[in-house]
Amino acid sequence: MRSTLGILCLVGVFHCSLFAQKVTTKTPSVLPASLPPIGAIAAKKPIHSINLGDSKEFPEVNLNITITPGPFKPTWDQ
């Protein structure tokens, strides 16, 4: 009786695992069916050929991000 019950359980698990492999769900795609072609990539420019300007001329941006209470504290003056 015990071995018969064990065999039935194994057959049931095997049977369920066969059907589990066939389950497919199709999620709707957020992309259009065809995307436009990617534009041409510009040629490489030599190093230091683009002037980025002086970083001191731009104002500092304060994001006002709150620090979560805990062992970590800011190391700068506020």
pLDDT per residue as tens digits for the range 8-43: 777 776 766 666 666 666 777 777 778 788 889 999
Percent of the chain with pLDDT over 90: 10
Work out whether the CA dihedral 61, 67, 73, 78 comes out positive or negative: positive
pTM (global) more than 0.85: no
Token pair of 4 as six digits: 């018969």
Alpha-carbon distance of 20 to 42, in angstroms, equals 50
Question: Ramachandran region of residue 41, left (φ > 0), alpha (ψ -120 to 50) or beta?
Answer: beta
